[in-house]
Structure formats: C-alpha cells, structure tokens
Amino acid sequence: MSDDWKEITAFWKGGMVFTGQNSSGGQVQMGDLEGQPGIGPMQLLLVALAGCTGMDIISILEKKRQKPVDFQVKVRGKRAADYPMIWTDIEVTYLLWGDHLKAKDVEQAIRLSEEKYCSVGLMLGASARITSSYQILPPG
C-alpha cells in the first residue's frame, strides 16, 4: 500500500463551474461553461467507476490473451430522494466486442474487478447496491 497522497485542484470558472486538474495536467470540467457541457460531481463518481473497472478488466483479459476489439462500460445510478442524495443503486453493463472472447474469462475478470481490484466500486458499494451484467458481441 502506498503512503503517497494524491492531489487534485478544482479551479472555479464562475457560476457553478469548476475544472478539476491533477498533478500531471489531466482535466475534467464540472458544470456548464459557455455552452460547453461538463459533468456533475455525482456523475463523475459513475465515470470513475466505469474507468476503474474497465481498466481492471482490460488488464486481466490481456493477461489471458483475451483482448476485445472494442469495449464499453455503461453505468447508471439511482440517487436517494433526500439530501445528501447519495447513490443507492448502481447498474454496470459491460459490452465487449470480439470473435474469440471466452465467457468464463470475462466473468472472472468482472468478478476480480468487483471483488478485489476496483477501489472506486468497493467504496461506492459501501453505500449503494451495485449490480452488473455483460454481453459479448461480434465485431463490426
């Protein structure tokens, strides 16, 4: 386990708009600025979940020589009606395109991500019920 702290800065751009930036210069816009739509902070948690579990699954599948030709992670969530309006239910759908992907390898990759590797999912799972499904689709 690393003792290193990770840091971001959120720069206020006016109104309800912030740009988040990490130490390597990566940025994400929160809120709407001059017609350029951004992502809300709660939606960013869903984006983080999709990215975290997606990276895990690609890494695991590549080790099994099961690289998809395309891959999408769709995440949707339902929030509590009352403040602080946390996520209560989250559904993750994995869409993988490839000719030779093995269902057992995909299932194992998803299970490992959900139960061991995806820190975002494990944190969100402390307050929300997370369910998942997957589809293996032909390329094209």
Q: At what angle do helices 103-112 and 41-63 cross, to 10 degrees?
A: 130
The DSSP code for 82 is: S
pLDDT at 95: 99
Task: Please answer whether residues 81 and 95 qualify as being in contact, where contact means their C-beta atoms are separated by less than 8 angstroms.
Answer: no
Q: Residue 14 pairs with which residues in a beta bridge?
A: 17
Task: Please answer whether residues 127 and 109 qualify as being in contact, where contact means their C-beta atoms are separated by less than 8 angstroms.
Answer: no
pLDDT tens column, 59-74: 999 999 999 999 999 9
Percent with pLDDT over 90 in the chain = 89
Q: Residue 70 pairs with which residues in a beta bridge?
A: 97
pLDDT at 1: 54
Residue reference for tokens 């912030």: 18
Point out the least confidently predicted range of 6-10, 35-39, 86-90, 126-130: 35-39
Alpha-carbon Rg for the chain, nearest whole angstrom, is 17
pLDDT tens column, 112-127: 999 999 999 999 999 9
pLDDT at 93: 99
Give mean pLDDT, residues 95-108.
98
pLDDT at 36: 73
Q: Sorting pLDDT into bands at 50, 70 and 90, what band is 35?
A: confident
Backbone angles phi, psi at 128, to 5 degrees: -125, 150
In angstroms, rounded to a whole number, what is the distance separating the alpha carbons of residues 72 and 129?
21
pLDDT at 34: 75
